[in-house]
Amino acid sequence: MRVCLICEGCYPYIPGGVSSWVQMLCTQFSDVEFVIWSIATNREEMSEVCYEMPENIKELRTFYLGEVALNKKYRSVQMTAEDHQVLKALVAGKPEEIDWKRTLEFVKQYRTRLEDILMGEDFYQICLEEYDRRKSKKVFFQFLWNFRNMYFPLMNILSDEIPQADVYHSLSTGYAGILGSCVSYAMQRPFLLTEHGIYTREREEDIIRAQWVEEDFKEIWIDFFKKMSLIAYQQATVVTSLFQVNKTLQVELGCPEEKIRIIPNGVSVESFGELAAKRTGDPARFNIGAVLRVVPIKDVKTMILAFADVKDRVPAARLYIMGNCGENPEYYQECEELVQALDVQDVSFLGQVNVMEHLADMDLLLLSSISEGQPLAILEGMAAGLPFVATNVGDCRGLLEGENGEDPAGLIVPVMDSAAMADAIVYCYTHPKERLKMGQAGRRRVCERYRKEFFLKEYRALYNQLGEEQHGGNRV
């Protein structure tokens, strides 16, 4: 069997939870041939492979969104009236009103001419009509080029040569999802869509906060990502979700409920269990660890603010931030500057390290994210018998609090509330017996529900099912 994994902004260039998940999947399924189709930002940020890819990854193909440019010459495309309406619905229609079957047929038909269409008369007229309808106060050519900049990367991706595979498997909606949708339709192969987080909601949060998107265009960009998610949900043979709350969100965003299967993440219980047995503890120090990428969505600044408060009350506290610092250099510099401005001691950015070499020395772990799915960092910490203080995002509450009155494996605090996080950390420091009890509860929960063997068994069955059926095309 040959599976094409379509990754966006992660494997194999950016370390993190999703990338670790891909590495585990490919390594464990040694009898499956994988093609990695990676959608990256630009070569400067994402060119160095951060993982030792197993031999069954037969091809790595990378599409750099930031390195494509419009050709100065393009050919006129004579479109039928029906095709014009399909393009108009995609660009200017409401997401729920688009005929996705016709849209996919349109993309398949014009796959090698999409850039010509973008620069052609039909696209121009559609944007002009939309400009008038919205009564935009922007100069028209600014409006037009905003739409071209929106659809140009998408159309270039869809024009790429399609790798052969028995199953196409996208790890998010967005660009990866619509690419998987279109190639599965064109090749008439099954399409599996896995969502670790809810891409549409994450992009909506990004756009609302973004300064690169002018206020007049924010709604247009949000609708654009909703359209891409809808086409992926409609085309997918199976959609997987990590937990019930995310499944509910997928249904709200237009995914047919009958397609969704909940498959939680899993970790190597035995490997991390050895760390729990080695933990000795140093009464002269209170070591706090954070395993994360230093990027805005992880809200490292709130963590630093919380630690500054903790340090005043607990001089023995030490904070070790473990993870990639190079993905967003500007944000990393801002975090370092915040540490200096607060004049807080004992904050260490360790960069990309072997986490297992450090967890045995930790007393408590933190997660301060403003958005998550079902974090592998929490599962790994729980497997190592470590308690957590985490924000109330994604499945963090479900992981740490369990269900039906189970013993907690940590404490949940509100998003962006440094005072609440600081209080929770101090509570854990002043209640060592309770802290030990939380670590033990987390270890039990992972052993019972979140072993890597469980999720691998589910995906093995899915791959076998989809590979045997071979009828992924024309599902919309």
| CATH number, position 216 | 3.40.50.2000
Angle at 110 between CA 106 and CA 114, to 5 degrees: 110
In a domain, 117, yes or no: no
Q: At 196, which amino acid appears?
A: H
Q: Percentage of the chain surpassing pLDDT 90?
A: 65
Instruction: Please state, rounded to an integer, the average pLDDT across all residues of the chain.
Output: 90
Q: What is the mean pLDDT of residues 280-309?
A: 91
In a domain, 335, yes or no: yes
What pLDDT is attached to residue 473?
A: 47
Q: Which residues pair with 169 in a beta bridge?
A: 5, 192
Do 399 and 303 reside in the same domain of the chain? yes
Cα dihedral 451→453→454→460 (10° resolution) = 150
Say how many C-beta atoms besides its own lie within 10 A of residue 306's C-beta: 26
Tokens (6 digits) for 328? 């967003």
Count of the separate structural domains present in the chain: 2
> Please, which pLDDT band fits residue 150 given cuts at 50, 70 and 90?
confident
Domain that holds residue 364: 269-450
DSSP state for residue 161 in the 8-state scheme? P
In a domain, 131, yes or no: no
H or E, element range at 191:
strand 191-195
What pLDDT is attached to residue 432?
A: 93
What pLDDT is attached to residue 70?
A: 63
> Please, which pLDDT band fits residue 66 given cuts at 50, 70 and 90?
confident
Do 287 and 436 reside in the same domain of the chain? yes
Do 230 and 344 reside in the same domain of the chain? no
In a domain, 88, yes or no: no
What pLDDT is attached to residue 472?
A: 45
Q: What is the mean pLDDT of residues 344-365?
A: 93
Tokens (6 digits) for 455? 């999720």
Do 330 and 386 reside in the same domain of the chain? yes
What pLDDT is attached to residue 279?
A: 60
Do 277 and 384 reside in the same domain of the chain? yes
In a domain, 339, yes or no: yes
Q: Phi/psi of residue 241, each to 5°?
A: -135, 155
Do 412 and 273 reside in the same domain of the chain? yes
Side-by-side strand order, sheet with 33-40? 57-64, 33-40, 2-8, 167-170, 191-195, 238-241, 260-262
More confident residue, 113 or 341: 341
Do 256 and 277 reside in the same domain of the chain? no
Q: Which residues have C-beta within 8 Å of that of residue 23, sequence separation ≥ 6?
A: 11, 12, 51, 53
Q: Phi/psi of residue 414, each to 5°?
A: -65, 155
In a domain, 109, yes or no: no
Do 300 and 404 reside in the same domain of the chain? yes
Cβ atoms of 358 and 335 closer than 8 Å: no
Do 396 and 355 reside in the same domain of the chain? yes
- Separation CA 361–CA 278 (nearest Å): 9
Cβ atoms of 123 and 86 closer than 8 Å: no
- Separation CA 309–CA 425 (nearest Å): 10
Is the pLDDT at 111 greater than 90, yes or no? no
Is the pLDDT at 266 greater than 80, yes or no? yes
Side-by-side strand order, sheet with 364-367? 347-351, 317-322, 286-291, 364-367, 388-391, 410-413
pLDDT digits (tens, 9 = 90+) for 428-446: 999 999 999 999 999 999 9
Q: Percentage of the chain surpassing pLDDT 70?
A: 96
Do 442 and 369 reside in the same domain of the chain? yes
Q: Which residues pair with 391 in a beta bridge?
A: 413
Q: Phi/psi of residue 17, each to 5°?
A: -60, -45
The distance from CA 178 to its chain's CA centroid, rounded to whole angstroms, is: 15
- The sign of the dihedral angle between the CA atoms of 331, 333, 338, 341 is negative
In a domain, 289, yes or no: yes
Q: What is the mean pLDDT of residues 302-318?
A: 97
Residue identified by tokens 């670590």 is 439
Do 253 and 290 reside in the same domain of the chain? no
Cβ atoms of 37 and 6 closer than 8 Å: yes
In a domain, 127, yes or no: no
Q: Is the pTM of this model over 0.85?
A: yes
Do 335 and 259 reside in the same domain of the chain? no
